[in-house]
Amino acid sequence: MFDVIVRAYNDDDKKPAILEAFYDVDLNPMSDNYIAKRVGDMYYQYDVDSAKMRLMGDFNNKSKYIRV
């Protein structure tokens, strides 16, 4: 398990500005703590054949800043 922490661009290690944190995530797709389930992996992609945007990914985005 590991943590994903999103910090402000201009913070420093002495005084971190944490924008979001996802603690105890893992890389096991069968786990409730799977990183994609916790953070989200959805994005839009243009489909040339249908000339429309398609929503891709399996898990709703829960982060305002990142996706995996």
pLDDT, tens digit, for every residue of 9-59? 999 999 999 999 999 999 999 999 999 999 999 999 999 999 999 999 999
> How many Å apart are CA 43 and CA 29, to the nearest integer?
19
The pLDDT of residue 55: 97
In this structure, are residues 68 and 59 in contact, taking their beta carbons and an 8 Å threshold? no
> How many Å apart are CA 29 and CA 16, to the nearest integer?
30
The pLDDT of residue 30: 97
pTM to 2 decimal places: 0.84
In three-state secondary structure terms, 6 is strand
> How many Å apart are CA 21 and CA 18, to the nearest integer?
7
How many Cβ atoms sit within 10 Å of the Cβ of residue 46?
Answer: 9
The pLDDT of residue 25: 98
